[in-house]
Structure formats: structure tokens, C-alpha cells
Structure 1
Amino acid sequence: MKFFIKTIKIIFIFQLLTSCVPFKDTLYLEKNKDKVADIEINADAYKPYRLQVDDILSVEIKSNNHKDVEVFSKTGDKNSGVVNQDQLYFDGYQIDGFGNIRIPVIGLVNVQGQTVEEVGKLLEKKLLEEYFTPASNLFVNVKLAGIRYTINGEIGSTGTRTVFQDKLNILEAIANSGDIPITGNKKEVVVMRKIPTGYQSETLDLTDANVINSPYFYLKPNDYIYVKPLKQKSTGLGLNGLQTLTTVISLFGIITTTYLLVKSL
């Protein structure tokens, strides 16, 4: 019986040491938080984004005469004021595999590697040279049709999302996806990024305030995010003290019942 009790104690201590998730590992930007004021955000976050294949652009062309610009629009000016992902997919200008967008009347325009500001100036110059005069008060506005990203793994809600803003950081993307549950590893969040030559990836530690200095802290269009699960999830043990105690009590009941049944034989 003494051996039996000793065994239960060993199991209990083992579970406490191996299963519980430390409180500090459940917090964002906890490590080095006292030095946040001294951390400079990576300059890459403020560099203009260079367009890539599969990006979708929103192009708005206006002039004094509304009818003059209708021919350059896919569907005309709806003035609905409502923008959604489906509408942008069909009405936006997606960059093809050769880096081009096709605009009515104008035709193919190569935009890969350029910023949206550069594309706007390129279109305006082309339109003024071939279709409009300075008196038309031509206005060309080019925007990236939202930041589209995919998130998977230990997250509240997986899937692909489009956020209609100019900048989006990893914490905002996670918040938009239902947050990382206690079973997710905030120290190992992988961001995979498409580049002209293929893909690059980096593993972020979201518990460390220094993560804001990573070039992957701010997302870029078509980034893929994967949140790794904690090892405790695969073991089936408790993730906190209460769960551990419940598991031990259940295990103790099973062992006790088995011991009494064997002893009675």
C-alpha cells in the first residue's frame, strides 16, 4: 500500500512539472516589456509595399466628365459605398503571372514590383498622353484591395481573411481570428511570406516585446500564419493546476479501483 501511495505522489508531481502552462507563456509581449520604449519598430514596416503576382488592386479614375471615365471601368461607378471581398475579387484588378493588370481600353499594364503610388502616376501619365487633356482634372487613385492573409493551427477561427486597411500587424490578425487559446504556443508562431523568388518564413515569439522589431511583425498581402500547438495538448494532461488535479483524481480512482479488484481476487 505504501508503494501504491508513493507511486501516486510521483505521478502527481510529474504532471505538475510537465503539464501546466506557465502563466508568463500565456501573455503577449511580456518578456522585455520594460524595454518597450527603447525598441524601435523595424524600418521595413514603413517601406512602401511592392506589388506581386496575385495581388488585387482597386483602381479609381475620375474626371470632369463622368462619361469619359466610364469606359475605363470594369462595371461602371456603382457608388454603393459597400466594399466586400467578393466584390473586389470580381471588380478589382488582379496581377497575373506576368505581373500585369488589364484595364479596359488601356490594355495590359505591368505593375509588378511597383508601389501603388507609382502605379497611380503611371496610369495618370498614360491617360493624359492618350485619352485626356489637363483641363479634364483627371484623378487616378490606386489602392491595394485590402490585406489578405490565411491563418491556421491553434487559433480561435482558422481561414482566409481580408482586412481593409493599409497596415496590419500579427497581433491584430490574431485578434481578428479569435485569439490563440491556451493550447496554442505563443512562442512559436510561423509566418510564411511569398517573395518573387519563392517563399520565406520566420518563427515569432509573441511573448517577447522585441517581436515588434521583426520584419514579419507587420503582415504583407498573402502571408500565411501557423500557430503551433503546445506539447501538453498531445499528451492529454492538464494545461493548468485545476485540470491537472482533475486528471490526477481520475487516475487515482482508476488505479484504486483496479488495486482493490486485484486484491479481492
Structure 2
Amino acid sequence: MKIKTLIFAFTIILLTSCKTTTNTITYFQDLDNQSTAVTGKAVNYTPRIAPDDQLSITVSGMDPNAVAAFNIPLASYLAPGETHVTSTPVLHTYLVNSHGEIDFPVLGKLQIAGMTRSELIDMMTEKISAYVKSPIVTIQIRNFKVSVLGEVNKPGTVNVPNERLSILDALGMAGDLTIYGNRTNILLIRDNNGEKEYHRFDLTSAETLTSPYYYLQQNDVLYVEPNKARKGNAKYSQSGQFNVSLASTIISALSVLASLGIALLVK
């Protein structure tokens, strides 16, 4: 009877443990199964140009000769460690300096930090229209990237081909969290005009989907901290882990021997 009681108690503990673990790894647990949309204030994901951004800017129009002065020709460069110039021309980029400026042909220095890409296109189109009829300005942020660190399957830098990148996109590109990642405390680090800005996400809550930080900016850093299980394991040295494993093996062997001895005595 005592053995049955012990087995029942062990089963209850095991099921409770599994339930607790599930509640810490399931995303957006408070979403209503009946709902089809998450309501909340619209989140603006458009990034703003900042110092150290690299921009590709091309100007086109009906008369190619008229816009030629605004376009720096494609160039070929020596790659590090190579002695021959690459045969593939590289598009020239404009580096936004520490004062938030670029030096553009004909127009000279332009103060552009803090502007969105669309705002910069409108401004440059207006200025270039004084020289060219109906110009078309195309701008792209070439070094839009975020870093994902900590308990993810593929930590590192994520290059973004467009302007829209959510926290879920970034974590997906990093291979998602490992089983040891703390899903309730994802740290976002953002450089906002030279000042560090911090925000934390709880991926088990649907509030993440309506957060003003849901969409990431260039050079953001996401850090996934380890959960309690990972932190606990890290406290043991390799020798300590070996000792625990050895002790566990010995106890298991003794349990088997004891079971065999009991079985023989019963017969």
C-alpha cells in the first residue's frame, strides 16, 4: 500500500513539474482562443536615420545626363588580403557623420539625422528639382542590423534587408530561443541619440504584440537571459558534474541490486 502511495505522489509531482515548465515556455499564453486580432495602438516601425548609418542614394530621371552629376559612379575596391581589384562594381554609400550630416554632390552638406527615409526622399527630391525635371530619389539604409545574444540557437548579428523587423522576426532569424532561454525577461538595448535605452519583453504575454518597442531599430541589441535551470547548472564545475553523475550511477546500481535481493528473498 505504501509503495502505491509513493508512486501516486511521484506521478502528481511529475505532472505538476511538467505543467509549470510548459507555462514558462509557451508564447502569448493570455491570448483569447476565440479572438482573431490583438487590439492596441498602431506601432510605428519606420526607423530614423542616425549617425554611422550607411545610405545608398541614387537619383534617376527622364534625362540620364541631367542626373549624372548627382550619382557617384560605381567603383571597384581591393578586398582585404587581396592583390587584385574585384571585377564587380560596388555601389557607393554615404556615411552619416557624428553630426548627422552627409556630403552630397551639388547639394553639399545635408543635415539628415532624425529623419525617416521617406522624409529624406521628399527633401532631396525638392532640392534636386531645382536642377532636374521630375527627379526620382531612391534611398536605402545599407547597414540596418540588430544583434541577438544569449540563449538563442544562432546568436550573432542579423542583417535586415528592409525597414520592418519585429522582435519575433529577429528571434526567428536567430533560430528561436533554446529551451533554457527565459521567455519572460527579454532585454532590448537601444542607442537613442547617444543615450542607452532599455526595455524588457515578456513573450508569454500578448502585451508584447502591442508594445511600442515591438518593431526594432537599426543597431538594437536583444539579450535572452538563461532561465533558472541553466543558471543552476552553471554553478557546477565539470568535476562537480562528474561527481554527481558518478554518485547517481552508484545509487542506481545499488537500487537494482536491492531490488534483486528483495525479489530473491520473496521467492
Taking structure 2 as the reference length, what is the TM-score of the superposition? Answer: 0.71
Question: Pairwise mapping of residues 174-189 of structure 1 onto structure 2 (< 5 A)?
Answer: 174-189=171-186
Letter in 2 for 1:53: P
**Contact 1:19 / 1:232 at 8 angstroms: preserved in 2?**
no
Give the deviation of 1:249 after TM superposition: 8.8
How do 1:209-248 residues align onto structure 2 when only pairs under 5 Å count? 209-236=206-233
Q: Per the alignment, in what secondary structure is the counterpart of residue 46 of structure 1?
A: coil
1:89-138 alpha-carbon deviations (Å, 9 max, x no partner): 97322221100122234332110122212211221222222xx243xx31
1:135-188 deviations in Å (ceiling 9; x for gaps): xx3111223336411110001111112111231111111111111110111111
Q: In structure 1, what is the Cα distance between the partners aligned to 2:103 and 2:137?
A: 16
8 Å CA contact retained: 1:33, 1:209: no
Q: 1:240 maps to what in 2?
A: none
> CA–CA distance in 2 between the matches of 1:90 and 1:67?
19
Q: CA deviation at 1:67?
A: 3.1
SS state at 2:129 partner: helix
Residue 162 of structure 2 is matched in structure 1 by 165
Is the 1:184–1:229 Cα contact (8 Å) retained in structure 2? yes
Root-mean-square deviation (CA), in Å? 3.9
Q: Determine whether 1:101 maps to 2:91.
A: no
* 1:60 alignment partner, one of 53, 58, 61: 58
**Letter matched to residue 210 of structure 2:** N
Identity %: 24
Greater CA deviation, 22-31 or 156-165? Answer: 22-31
Instruction: Spell out, residue by residue over 1:220-250, the C-alpha distance to the aligned partner (whole angstroms, 9 max, x if none).
Output: 111100011111013239xxxxxxxxxx997
Residue 205 of structure 1: how far off its partner (Å): 0.6
Cα deviation, residue 60, structure 1: 2.1
- Residue 28 (structure 2) aligns with: 29
Where does residue 140 of structure 2 map in the other structure?
143
Q: Deviations over 1:23-72 (max 9, x none)?
A: 132222223344865632443x2264332222232322001222332332
SS at match of 2:70: coil
Q: Does 1:40 align with 2:39?
A: yes
Q: 1:66 to 1:21 in 2, by over 3 A?
A: farther
Query: Is the 2:74–2:91 contact (alpha carbons within 8 Å) kept by the matching residues of 1?
Result: no
What residue is the counterpart of 1:83 in the other structure?
A: none
Cα distance change on mapping 1:133 and 1:171 into 2, 3 Å:
closer
**With CA pairs under 8 Å and 6+ residues apart, which has the higher RCO, 1 or 2?**
1
Aligned residues: 231
Counterpart CA distance in 2 for 1:25 and 1:74 is 54
* Structure-1 separation of matches of 2:49 and 2:225: 29
Contact 1:148–1:160 (CA<8 Å) still a contact in 2? yes
Name the CA distance, whole Å, in 1 between partners of 2:34 and 2:109. Answer: 50
What amino acid maps onto 2:249 in structure 1? Answer: G
The amino acid across from 1:138 in the alignment is P
Asked if 1 retains the 8 angstrom alpha-carbon contact of 2:45 and 2:164, the reply is no
Deviates more, 1:119-128 or 1:167-176: 119-128
Higher helix share: 1
- Matched AA of 1:31: D
Q: Which amino acid aligns with 1:62?
A: S
Unaligned stretches of 5+ residues in structure 2: 1-5, 77-87, 235-243, 256-267
Structure 1, unmatched stretches of 5+, are: 1-5, 7-11, 79-86, 238-247, 260-265
